Amino acid sequence: MSKSQKKKVVVTTSTTSKKTSSGSKGNTSASSASRSLLFNKDNYIWMGAGALLIIIGLFLMSGGKMPDPNTWDPDLIYSFRRTVLAPIVILLGLGVEIYAIFKK
């Protein structure tokens, strides 16, 4: 090698060393321990109540089988329970779910 092709070596005399982290893999246990959960116990109770209301509404809406396949009875299908009460209960359940999500 000639003089022009030699590499220069830079030496530092500083005593502090920088620690390099390898992204998010380095301190996962410390950061996850300091994080709090998104929902608390009250939120989950409200979510369970909302889900229960939705299931009750679906059960209220079910049914409507005719006793005889040759007859048509609109009172069985279009009853108050299936057309008014069940959708209101389902919507109440959805409202409770929304409340549970946004509750602090």
pLDDT tens string 40-59 = 999 999 999 999 999 999 99
13: part of which helix (H) or strand (E)? none
CA dihedral sign, ordered 28, 33, 34, 36: positive
Sort residue 81 into left (φ over 0), alpha (ψ -120 to 50) or beta.
Answer: alpha
Q: What is the pTM of this model?
A: 0.63
pLDDT digits (tens, 9 = 90+) for 57-67: 999 999 888 88
